[in-house]
Structure 1
Amino acid sequence: MATLWLNTSIQSCNNSDNLKTYQHHIYAVVYSVILAPGLLGNILALWVFRIYIRETKKAVVFMMNLAVADLLQVLSLPLRIYYYLNDMWPFGLPLCMFCFYLKYVNMYASIYFLACISVRRCKLIMHPLRYNSSKQKGDLLVCGLGWLLVCLCCLPFPLLRNPSYDSKIGPNDSFPCFSELPLRHISSPAAWFLLVTAELLGFIVPLILVIVCACKTAGSLKNTTVGAVPDRGEKRRALKMVLSCAVVFLVCFAPYHVTMPLDFLAKANALSNCSLRDFVQRIHPLTLCLASLNCSLDPLMYYFTTNEFWRQLSKTETPENMAFSRRLSCITGEDLDDD
């Protein structure tokens, strides 16, 4: 059976050193920029959603899981920044492989939960009477199955990497990690199967769901459906949420999934033109950075499209603060005025 040897080195084009320096600079700058807003935004989102999860049924469970996925990626960014700034990885191969794996888990978990949010908001607008608080149990099941599916489907990314290194590499030597890990021998049919599956199930099908939900939600503003939400303001808020999911898809994930097959061909030395190969391998890191940008964009989506989020965030008193005040009053013997 024919096999491909996929390697990050370029056999016939002598630009690997400049390309590596360029990629490291791009990754270090972008990851440093998104670290702080991604960390603060997703921690804040989890805090708000945890407090008010019982007050609404508008896909909050899915948004919480999306925030968890984003937060996991953000927590791995300091290690990535260290590697790209210092051009060495002193933390061992297992942690390198885990961070590499976590990147793809975050990407496809984000895609999965963005699709779930869009579908849930659309169904809530079209058929509100079918959804009540008991539906959250179903949402938890969907989230659990989603995490399992994503984690299993992303296993080929680290498993296809070759973990064997030259024993002469010392502790202070450059230690390749992440996308610079060499790839194993793989048959051509298997390689294309994995690539097509990732494109189809990981991006195209969820994107179609989001676009269909956006069209149906927009159509609900013009047409009156039996059993649908009559409040046009609520429909507009739902449309804003679904459109935001579509924008995140198109801005963050569409460019990456366009360049991913081209990058695959470049690393497989299937592109004979050196200029084209160099262009692909310079543009692909930018699209990968755009895919990472979603961990900072998602909290903005929560704030500007989720009425409960900014309304509760703007309150001076939250349920936790009120409970703390009551406990404090019991200790001090002071009376609280009822509003």
Structure 2
Amino acid sequence: MNFTNKSCENSEGLRTYQHYVYAVVYSVILAPGLLGNVLALWVFGVYIRETKKAVVFMMNLAVADLLQVLSLPLRIYYYLYNIWPFGHVLCMICFYLKYVNMYASIYFLVWVSVRRCQLIMRPLRYNSSRRKGDMCICGFGWLFVCLGCLPFPLLRIPVATQYIDSNDPHGQVCFSELPLRSVSAPVAWSLLILAEMVGFIIPLILVLACACLTAGSLQEGAISDRGEKRRALRMVLSCAAVFLVCFVPYHVTMPLDFLAKANTLASCALRDLIQRCHPITLCLASLNCSLDPLMYYFTTDEFRRRLSKSEIPEGRTVSRQLSCIGGGERMIRLQHH
């Protein structure tokens, strides 16, 4: 993928800096991401299964975030110790899950925004059959994202003999430090443009459009409906905020990083700047694992209510009432005897 003969040395200082950034950020988001998404799945799956407010998409979003969080300990180990002793297959799985999480999160953030907007604009059109349709949309989304992210690991060359630390024969390079396969310039640019259009630009337009439509709906309808519309707007704006903070910076620097690695930039200083900024934007893309549970808490009334106080599910309440009634009847019989 080298388009010119101009090349710059990949300094050890740059690699040390990148490893430090990754290790610190991934360590920070590991605990809140794990706890927040496990709690989210528990609340969505057990307590608010009957609600129709895009919970199916939020559950799948939590699953996508959890998949990436579970791969973070191995990433942290690699960036702290500069070795990957776990084999090439596991390296590729972790590398693949990173991008599956990112684009699955983008996909489900879009559908959370679309569904909340639809529920405000046309509330009577959502029924049980539409709920089944949501599950089909999620299944298609996972298949589409998993297939679409295959080029990320497939374009990397497994190098079992290239080590970061020559004194450790078991430590391979991994993740983005694996060399790229040689592909033609048209193929490389086609993949890049396709990823930007389908994975970023179109979803961004949809999320912003949903935010504008939901905000516009506040001017219509009865005053009694405005509370629900404000809650819907809060959810859609939160999705847009997560999208803008986590995914816009990465997709801005992704083509620049591609140009830097393809040796198409004449300035070595510019290449160094891009390769120092790109890890930061990649970490921002991972930050959504911790931001999404916060979004659920502050924008979903059911989620916040269930976590703010201990509530007994309805089925358990009924069973306790029956047991109390039965116990009371037994006490009355004992008193008569």
TM-score normalised to the size of structure 1?
0.90
User: Paired residues, what number?
Assistant: 325
Tell me what 2:208 maps to: 211
The equivalent position to 1:240 in structure 2, one of 219, 224, 234, is 234
Post-superposition offset of 1:11: 7.1
Residue 114 in 1 paired to residue 133 in 2? no
- Cα 1:239–1:155 change in 2 (3 A) is same
Q: Which amino acid aligns with 2:130?
A: K
Tell me if structure 2 keeps the 8 A contact 1:312–1:318.
Answer: no
Secondary structure class of the residue paired with 1:185: coil
Distance 1:204 1:268 in 2: 23
Q: Which amino acid aligns with 1:14?
A: E
Distance 2:328 2:100 in 1: 50
Post-superposition offset of 1:151: 0.1
Counterparts of 1:64-143 in structure 2, within 5 Å, are 64-143=59-138
- Show CA shifts across 1:135-167 (max 9, x none): 221110000000000000000000000114338
The equivalent position to 2:156 in structure 1, one of 143, 158, 161, is 161
Q: Which amino acid aligns with 2:271?
A: R
Tell me if structure 2 keeps the 8 A contact 1:125–1:229.
Answer: no
The equivalent position to 2:34 in structure 1, one of 34, 39, 64, is 39
Distance 2:7 2:57 in 1: 47
Residue 221 in 1 paired to residue 215 in 2? no
Tell me if structure 1 keeps the 8 A contact 2:6–2:266.
Answer: no
Secondary structure class of the residue paired with 1:88: coil
* Structure 2 unmatched ranges of 5 or more: 330-337
Tell me if structure 1 keeps the 8 A contact 2:83–2:173.
Answer: yes
Tell me if structure 2 keeps the 8 A contact 1:88–1:175.
Answer: yes
- Cα 1:161–1:51 change in 2 (3 A) is same
Structure 1 consecutive aligned stretches of length 4 or more whose deviation exceeds 3 Å: 167-174, 323-330, 333-336
Tell me if structure 2 keeps the 8 A contact 1:97–1:158.
Answer: yes
- Show CA shifts across 1:191-239 (max 9, x none): 0010001000001101100000000000000133xxx995100000000
- Cα 1:200–1:72 change in 2 (3 A) is same
- Cα 1:284–1:335 change in 2 (3 A) is farther
Post-superposition offset of 1:254: 0.1
- Show CA shifts across 1:96-144 (max 9, x none): 0000000000000000000000000000000000012332211100000
Tell me what 1:23 maps to: 18
Tell me what 2:173 maps to: 176
Secondary structure class of the residue paired with 1:151: helix
Post-superposition offset of 1:51: 1.2
Post-superposition offset of 1:308: 1.4
TM-score normalised to the size of structure 2?
0.90
Counterparts of 1:246-257 in structure 2, within 5 Å, are 246-257=240-251
Tell me if structure 1 keeps the 8 A contact 2:159–2:178.
Answer: no
Tell me if structure 2 keeps the 8 A contact 1:70–1:110.
Answer: yes
Tell me if structure 2 keeps the 8 A contact 1:59–1:121.
Answer: yes
Residue 289 in 1 paired to residue 286 in 2? no
Post-superposition offset of 1:324: 11
Q: Quote the RMSD (CA, aligned, Å).
A: 2.6
Tell me if structure 2 keeps the 8 A contact 1:35–1:74.
Answer: yes
Tell me what 2:257 maps to: 263
Secondary structure class of the residue paired with 1:44: helix
The equivalent position to 1:280 in structure 2, one of 242, 267, 274, is 274
Tell me if structure 2 keeps the 8 A contact 1:53–1:61.
Answer: no
Distance 1:115 1:11 in 2: 41
Post-superposition offset of 1:321: 8.6
The equivalent position to 1:197 in structure 2, one of 194, 199, 202, is 194
Residue 187 in 1 paired to residue 184 in 2? yes
Post-superposition offset of 1:52: 2.7
Q: Which moved more, 1:303-312 or 1:17-26?
A: 303-312
**Percentage identity across paired residues of the two chains:** 73
Q: Which moved more, 1:252-261 or 1:305-314?
A: 305-314
Secondary structure class of the residue paired with 2:183: strand
Post-superposition offset of 1:21: 0.2
* Structure 1 unmatched ranges of 5 or more: none
